Amino acid sequence: MKASELRSKDVAALEKEVTDLLKAHFGLRMQKATQQLTNHSVLGKTRRDIARVKTVLAEKKKGAA
């Protein structure tokens, strides 16, 4: 997911995206704990996506204030 794609979304869509990514990250962590996860690099990618979305969300909230 690119930051340019995220900047075109509104605040509500970004908040939903963060929620979805956090749920996905939790599921991946549970798979890792039960040794069902085969591709461990997905955890890092998901974590970076969460940070990217939160950064764009903070920029939008700061700009709106």
Band the pLDDT of 63: cuts 50, 70, 90: confident
Distances (CA, A) of 57 to 6, 16, 26, 35, 39: 9, 11, 21, 33, 28
Q: Say if CB 50 and CB 18 are below 8 A apart.
A: yes
Sketch out the chain's domains with CATH numbers: 3-64 (1.10.287.310)
Beta-carbon contacts of 1 under 8 Å, excluding residues fewer than 6 positions away, are 49, 52, 53
Res 65 pLDDT > 80? no
Of 49, 65, 63, give the one whose Cα is nearest residue 14.
49
Q: What is the pLDDT of residues 22-48, one digit of tens each?
A: 999 999 999 999 999 999 999 999 999
